[in-house]
Every structure is written in C-alpha cells, then in structure tokens.
Amino acid sequence: MGLTMAEKVFSSKAGRSVQAGEYVVLPVDRAMCHEGFLLSCAKLIASGIGKVWDPEKVVVIMDHYVPSPDVKMAEAHAKIRKLVKQCGLKHYFGEREGVCHQVMVEKGLALPGDLIVGTDSHTCTYGGLAAAATGIGTSEMAYVLATGDLWFQVPHSIRVMLNGRLPQRVYSKDVSLALAGRFGSEFAQYRSIEFSGDLVQDLSIDSRLVLSNMSVEFGAKFGMFPVDDVTISYLKSIGAEDIEVFSADDDAEYERTCTLDADGLEPMIALPHTVDNVKPVREVAGEKVDQVLLGSCTNGRLEDLREAAGILKDRQVAPSVRMYVYPASRQVLRQAMDEGIIQVLSSAGAVICPASCGPCFGSHGGLLASGEVCISSTNRNFKGRMGSPEAKVFLASPATVAASALFGKITDPREVG
Amino acid sequence: MIIQGRAWVLGDNIDTDLIVPGQYLMASLEDQAKHVFEAIDPTFVKEVRQGDIIVAGKNFGCGSSREMAPQVLKHLGIGCILAEDFARIFFRNAIAVGLPALTVKNISGKVEHMDEVGISLDSGRVIVKSKALEFFAAPLPEKMREIIDAGGIDGILKNLAAR
C-alpha cells in the first residue's frame, strides 16, 4: 500500500512506516510562535523546566498586536523580548518582518517534508511548500518547547482534485471559497488535504499558500501541495538547499476525492457569518460596504496587491469607503513599493498599514462599528470576528475586494475594465 | 470519573470568536468570561453554574487556536462539552486545559436546555435521566485521557519537571 504525503512525513519522523489512524509521539522540526510565546514560555517557567529543548528550532515572530495598540500589549511585547533573550532563541524576528506565516515561508523556515507546529490556526499555510504544518494551542506549545515532541494522530487524507484553468479575474481564493461552499466548513475535519490535478501546475506559490491557508477553514490539519518545479524554483530563489522532492505514492489511499473544475468558476464570496456560506459575487453585487480590507496571511502577498492595484490604477476608492492595506510582510511591502503598487494603492485613497495581522482577528487596527459592512480578503467572517457582533464581514479575493472599494458596494471584478 | 450537570444546548459551528471575541483576548480571564456567547445568548454568562455541561452540534470550536476558548468555559464552571464533533484545535486545547470534550454522535436535537446529563468518562456512557436517553461517546485516545487525568498539560509539565 502506498503512502499519502502526510503518512510519508510522519513515517520519516517515526523511522518506520506509519499509517492513517495511528497515534504517534514525534519530534517536530520547528515550533513557530507569535505573541502566544509569552503564554507558552510562562508555563514552561512555571513548571520548573525553564529552558527550551532546542533554541535553533523555535521561531518567534510578533504580528498580532503590531504596533502595540496599548500599554498592556507593550508590556507583553517587552516580556517576550526578554524571554527570547533568556531562552537564547536563534530565530527571532520581533515586529519588524510581518505576519508570522509569510515570514516563515520567506525565511526558508518551512520546507518540504518538515513537521511544524505553530500557535496559530493558519500554520497550515506552509503546506503550500509541502510541509506538514498545523496549529496548536499555547499549552501544547509549552510541552513542545519543553520536549521538542508532540503527540499526533496520523490523519486520513482527502484528495482535492483541481482541474482546468482559472478564468479571468478568478483566483485561488475563489477556489477555496468554492470548496467551502460546495463541501462545507468541515469536510476535511481532522484530515490532511492533498491538492492535485492539472490546475496545480498553473498556481504560483503565492496562490498555493492561499489554498493551504484556507484549509483550516474546512477543518483540515494540513493542506499540502506536492513538490514540483514551481516549488523548487521558489525555494531556490530564497536560497533553500537540500530540497526534499516528494509527493504521494500513486497507490496512496484517500478517504475521499473532492473534485472542482476551475474552467467555469466565477468570483466567489462568503456571506456572513460562516466561511461556507458562499455564493457567486454577482448574486450579492450592489450590497453597500463601509470598509475594505486587503491583506493578511491569506491574501496579503505580492500577487494579491498587484491584482488589486491593477483594478485601482488611476482610479479612486469611493469616498464612502475606507480601505486598509495590510501587506503580509515587510518583504512584500518592499517589492510592492519597487513595482509601484503601493503608489497606485495610496493614490487611489487606500490607507497603507504596517505588515501585520491588523483587524483580521478583531483586536485592533480597523474594527467595525455595529451595522457596518466590510469586504475583506482575510479568512474568517464569524459574528464579532472583526469588531461589533452587529457588523457583517464578507470574504472574497483581492480583485473582488478592490473592485468593491471602487464603487463602495460589492462588485464582480469582471465588471471592471 | 463521573460528571453530572445541567445542559446548555447550542447549535452547529460554534466558533472561537463566539466563545471569546478577539477584542477581549488580552483581557483577564475574569473579563473574558463576561463576554462568552454574548453575540448569541446573553443569558449564558448570567446563568451558567459550576458543573454545567454544553451539548452542541457539529464543528464545535471552529476557528482560531486561542486556548482562552476552552479555558474561559472551564473558568465559568463548564464540566464537560459534548458535541457531534469538534474542530481539531479546540478539541486538543480543551483536553490541554483539562476540560473533557467528548464526541457523541446523534446527541444533537435530543437534549433540551437544562436537562440533567450524566457522563462517565471511563465508559463513555452519557445519560439524560428525564428522557431515559442513553448515548455512548467515542473513547478519548489514551494520550488525551492521560492529560485529563493529570489535570491538563500544566500537570504533565510539572510531572516532567519532577522527573
């Protein structure tokens, strides 16, 4: 019997062949922490253990509260800096580099075949580079910091076959929303998703990361892409060495195959308040929006900002709308500056914000008042997610978000020249 | 271990933002507790009692990895969560903070608000006396049971440190 990608990663770490359903305790290759590090490290110290198992393997990136919105958070950041020093961590990026998941990818800290845990549910993003990566809570992270190990159930796998070609102004975000709409918000509960099909070769790493990132919105533990020429050329461009080239065996066993044809796909949108409440954008076109959010670990990469700029070039964001741009990283921001994208967005009236999580998770940096409507390129639209529980959040692609900014109402990006 | 309490019945897809909205994540546990389920049931925090049980539908705890979600429910006195199924990270987090979370198929829609529910963690037997109903929960993996018995990951870490 052949192995899935998840089974291959777990088998390689276990040093024996393991199969879906088994429980295993395995060493992780990396432990990624955002501000959650403070809670995990505090537990480590309170328990009397006090030091991390391997300072080379722990990564700390501050992004959720950047810049710190209040004194309480400033104090928390100060404690984190102190603890990072005390633990002698080698990979610390402070609040300078951007959203943790994008930074992990850009810095070559998430590589094919790696087993990675992170204190954030969107840690599964690294599956775009064939890493088996998943989110955990801060207590489990404390255990990882102490021992380097964690217990896992080897997941069953679901193959998501993506066929055809994406039409004009339809993107991987639309694919992920279409998957949520068609198969539901938990079709991959506790499963590993493997993306395959002939669309995959057309998808850039930026686009793949969107699908891997959104995998947790279907309940998935991992959202993995096989390693191909696109992966290898991206990894070489960031200086990665010893790239593990692997994919599932031809006779790997999948619990289920879900198929989606890209050819007839339209721009899609998730309506409040669940990610699987999905319709084609044209069916809700015309709904007035107050806030437009472009960015996040889902859709704040260069490709995303470029698409939005293509729509907003030499145009103006509707006066009734406030548009916030949160690039996924400092590197994305710099590249977008080099390409003139930031000039276009700013000239159009968008507010350019620091590379960080911003209001995506509802803490600060652009929260919504009751009765307000936001269209966002982020990943969740739960009630109360981005401020008032009486506000509404719609999720869509960067192009749909930009087109909607232009008219102050939800707009199908294909309607804009 | 036997757990007994009154049921709070909730639906499908109860997400972590409904449990602890993002804007309160940096607040103390006491302050977070004031906002639990405020967007869907403002009576919850006023009337919840030590030992109460949550009975929910599918995908309980979907969303964020914030551990405050199970932690604040435990803080409010919730003794156990029964659901058709759980979102993966919430499930792990509940166990990690020592809050039993059990998957019980077909329980949704059968239990009413404030029904007395009894749960045996060892056998997985769940009974609703007033309705003469009996369910069986999926057994917790051995590793998770160890964590519950240690009182959560904090207990496991203390044991590790003592070794």
- The ipTM estimated for the assembled molecules is 0.96
Distance separating alpha carbons of residues A368 and B107, to the nearest angstrom:
36
Q: Look at A153 and B67 and tell me if their CB atoms are within 8 Å.
A: no
Q: Given an 8 Å threshold on Cβ–Cβ distance, is A43 in contact with B153?
A: yes
Helix (H/G/I), strand (E/B), else coil: A278: strand
Nearest to A362 among B23, B59, B67 (CB): B23
- Which of B153, B156, B158, B160 should one mutate to test binding to chain A, selecting the residue with the greatest count of A CBs within 10 A? B153
Q: Which residues have C-beta within 8 Å of that of residue B27, sequence separation ≥ 6? A: none
- CATH 3.30.499.10 residue window(s) in chain A: 7-260, 268-415
Q: Mind giving me the DSSP string for A126-164?
A: GGGGT-EEEE--HHHHHHHHHHSEEEEEPPPEEEEEEES
Structure token digits, residue A412 = 């199908």
Contacts of B157 in chain A (CB under 8 A): 43-44, 47, 49, 142-143, 146
Residue B146: closest CA among chain A residues belongs to which residue? Answer: A151
Locus of tokens 């490709």: A303
Least CA distance to B155: which residue of chain A?
A: A47
Q: How far, in Å, CA of A92 to CA of A59, rounded?
A: 6
> What are the pLDDT digits (tens) for B10-51?
999 999 999 999 999 989 999 999 999 999 999 999 999 999
The answer to whether the Cβ–Cβ distance between A136 and B158 falls below 8 Å is no
Side chain identity, residue A127: G
Residue A417: its pLDDT value, please? Answer: 80
Of chain A, the percentage scoring pLDDT greater than 90 comes to: 99
Sorted by where each begins, the domain ranges of chain B are 2-162
Q: Where are the beta strands (DSSP E) in A13-147?
A: 23-27, 30-33, 58-61, 91-94, 115-118, 132-135
Contact B23 A139 (CB under 8 A): no
In this structure, are residues A52 and A87 in contact, taking their beta carbons and an 8 Å threshold? Answer: yes
The confidence score (pLDDT) of residue B163 equals 83
Name the residue with tokens 């967007």. Answer: B39
**Residues across chain B:** 163
> Residue B119 corresponds to which tokens in the numbers above?
């749960």
Neighbours of B77 (CB within 10 A): 13
Helix (DSSP H) and strand (DSSP E) numbers for chain B: 7, 7
Residue A289 · residue A373 · CB < 8 Å? yes
Candidates A49, A120, A122, A140, partner chain B, best to mutate (most B CBs within 10 A): A140
User: Which residues of B sit within 8 Å Cβ distance of A?
Assistant: 13, 15, 17-18, 21-23, 25-26, 38-40, 58-59, 62-67, 85, 87-89, 92-93, 96-97, 141-143, 152-154, 156-158, 160-162
3-state secondary structure of A392: strand
- For domain B2-162, the CATH class is alpha beta
CATH of A7-260, picked from 3.30.499.10, 3.30.565.10, 3.30.70.940, 3.40.50.720, is: 3.30.499.10
B88 contacts on A by Cβ (under 8 Å): 134, 189-190, 219, 221
What CATH number does domain A268-415 carry, 1.10.3720.10, 3.30.499.10, 3.90.1150.10, 3.40.190.10?
Answer: 3.30.499.10
Structure tokens given for A155: 């997941």
Answer whether B157 sits within 8 Å of A119, measured CB to CB.
Answer: no
Show the tokens assigned to A393.
């959040």
Q: Which chain B positions have a beta carbon within 8 Å of A362's beta carbon?
A: 17, 21-23
Give the model confidence (pLDDT) of A178-227 as tens digits. Answer: 999 999 999 999 999 999 999 999 999 999 999 999 999 999 999 999 99
Give the pLDDT confidence score for residue A216 in this predicted structure. 98
Residue numbers in chain A where pLDDT is lower than 50: none
**Chain A: nearest CA to B2, how far in angstroms?**
25
The structure tokens listed for B18 are 């409904």
Judge whether A374 and A293 are in contact, CB under 8 Å: yes
What integer pLDDT is reported at residue A1 of this predicted model?
A: 82
- How confident is the model over A311-355, as pLDDT tens digits? 999 999 999 999 999 999 999 999 999 999 999 999 999 999 999
Q: How many CA atoms does the CB half-sphere of A67 hold within 13 Å?
A: 3
- Give the residue carrying structure tokens 């963690």: B121
Residues of A within 8 A of B92 (CB-CB) are 136-137, 140
Contacts of B155 in chain A (CB under 8 A): none
